[in-house]
């Protein structure tokens, strides 16, 4: 029998969401996150003044079911693997309300989520997902069903999602508000287009809603007894044989497309050995007890970013360029701190030092300047002149012995160049 007290509390959830303590907590979170303005141009710095003037009427609209969210501002950013990712940036006010919703709804759904779901959850992380994947392979599950959902956040079926939300939310005003957020128009180039599907990334509520929907996949995999790791819409299922992997791929694809109305990207999904695929940027070796390593795509993306900074840095002070790259290198190495293979770190360090030497060689331009700079760095006059006039290009010279000798590791260390290899050794020592 339903507990009357629980029913009353459940049907008055919106009062809890709009309560002063919850709204103050949401306000501080939204302001600390900053973020871009939405379609109304309001920044987080102006939110307090707006709330002091308008909150009473906004709250009344929320409680009576009359509040209508503003359209989200469409922004497209490049995906790491190519293509564009659609973001929908809500207004600051709508981010505040979504954050308040998230703070009350999260605890209702979190306890029921799968232990194998790691994305956008308190106390869970990408590192935990990667470590769990490695453990699964080490246990003998040496085939992976790597499922990629095509444009997941743009394709979410609203009716299916709302039916899952309604299983725990009994306050119809909250359900109506969530649906209105799902259907808020998309503003681009002065035109507002209606949305009948999808939950664009950019608002505080979107990650929770995606986990609510994909929890259906998690429960199906658990029901079948599968070992899996899911981070948002990245799902890897680990099995022991190729035949079972092919069978799982077919049946789970059917489940996703028929039950959840989601599309599996056949080009990016695969049945393969785990060391032939990458999960959350990490790869692993083929050993019986596999070692984690930075994936090839992640290495290529970092190189591309450093290459772009180097290109813009022609003519600039080398120390300033190095300072600009430090946060990027530090962030990259911190993310890949689980890596057990040092070669990529070593090669990246060497490659970037060569890029910097190439930059110096280009900046000097004239052979006379090049000879003088090499002599200043301790090379003999004969060798400096011979090197300056060798007729080779900047990239060849940046890897030649005269530049390596004149501008060795110690030179870049004094300039403050962040060493990925040194950080790798620190991580290994700390573990």
Residue 6 binned pLDDT confidence (cut-offs 50, 70, 90): very low
* pLDDT at residue 8 greater than cutoff 70: no
Number of H helices, E strands in the chain: 20, 10
Average pLDDT over residues 177-201: 77
In this prediction, residue 138 carries a pLDDT of 97
Residue 319 CB partners (closer than 8 Å, separation 6+): 415, 416
pLDDT at residue 174 tops 70: yes
The reported pTM is: 0.88
Extract the tokens encoding 138: 């080490």
DSSP line for 19-88: SHHHHHHHHHHHHHH-----TT---GGGHHHHHHHHHHHHHHHHHTT---PPPEEEEEEE-TTSSEEEEE
268-317 per-position pLDDT tens digit: 999 999 999 999 999 999 999 999 999 999 999 999 999 998 887 666 78
Mean pLDDT of all residues in 356-360: 94
Can you tell me the mean pLDDT for 260-264? 94
Mean pLDDT of the chain: 91
Give the pLDDT confidence score for residue 10 in this predicted structure. 67
pLDDT in tens, 23-76: 999 999 999 998 889 999 999 999 999 999 999 999 999 999 999 999 988 887
pLDDT digits (tens, 9 = 90+) for 245-257: 999 999 999 999 9
- CA dist 283 and 277 (Å) reads 7
The predicted-structure confidence for 133-142, as pLDDT tens digits, reads as follows 999 999 999 9
pLDDT of residue 155: 83
Q: Which pLDDT score is estimated for 4?
A: 41
């Amino acid at each position: 029998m339903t507990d009357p007290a629980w029913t009353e509390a459940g049907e008055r959830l919106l009062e809890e969401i709009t309560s002063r303590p919850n709204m103050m907590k949401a306000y501080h979170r939204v302001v600390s996150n900053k973020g871009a303005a939405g379609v109304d141009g309001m920044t987080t710095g102006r939110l307090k003044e707006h709330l002091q003037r308008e909150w009473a009427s906004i709250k009344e609209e929320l409680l009576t079911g009359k509040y209508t969210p503003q359209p989200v501002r469409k922004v497209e950013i490049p995906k790491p693997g190519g293509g564009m990712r659609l973001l929908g940036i809500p207004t600051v006010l709508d981010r505040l309300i979504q954050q308040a919703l998230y703070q009350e709804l999260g605890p209702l759904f979190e306890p029921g989520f799968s232990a194998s779901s790691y994305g956008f959850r308190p106390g869970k992380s990408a590192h935990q997902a990667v470590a769990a994947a490695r453990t699964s392979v080490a246990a003998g599950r040496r085939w992976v069903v790597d499922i990629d959902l095509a444009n997941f956040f743009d394709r979410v079926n609203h009716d299916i999602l709302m039916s899952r939300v309604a299983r725990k939310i009994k306050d119809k005003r909250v359900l109506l508000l969530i649906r209105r957020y799902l259907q808020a128009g998309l503003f681009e180039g002065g035109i507002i287009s209606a949305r009948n599907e999808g939950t664009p990334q950019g608002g505080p509520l979107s990650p929770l809603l995606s986990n609510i929907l994909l929890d259906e996949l998690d429960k199906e995999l658990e029901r079948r007894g599968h070992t899996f790791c899911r981070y948002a819409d990245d799902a890897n299922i680990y099995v022991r044989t190729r035949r079972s992997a092919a069978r799982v791929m077919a049946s789970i694809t059917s489940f996703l497309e028929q039950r959840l109305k989601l599309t599996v990207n056949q080009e990016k999904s695969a049945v393969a050995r785990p060391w032939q695929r990458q999960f959350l940027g990490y790869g692993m070796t083929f050993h019986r007890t596999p070692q984690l390593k930075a994936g090839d795509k992640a290495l290529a993306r970092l190189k591309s970013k450093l290459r772009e900074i180097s290109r813009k840095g022609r003519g600039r002070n080398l120390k300033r360029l190095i300072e600009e790259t430090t946060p990027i290198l530090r962030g990259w190495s911190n993310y890949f701190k689980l890596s057990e293979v040092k070669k990529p770190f070593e090669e990246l360090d060497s490659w970037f030092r060569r890029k910097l030497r190439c930059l110096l060689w280009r900046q000097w331009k004239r052979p006379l300047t090049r000879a003088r700079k090499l002599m200043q760095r301790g090379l003999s006059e004969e060798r400096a002149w011979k090197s300056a006039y060798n007729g080779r290009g900047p990239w060849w010279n940046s890897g030649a012995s005269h530049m390596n000798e004149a501008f060795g590791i110690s030179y870049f260390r004094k300039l403050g160049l962040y060493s990925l290899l040194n950080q790798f050794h620190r991580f290994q020592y700390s573990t």
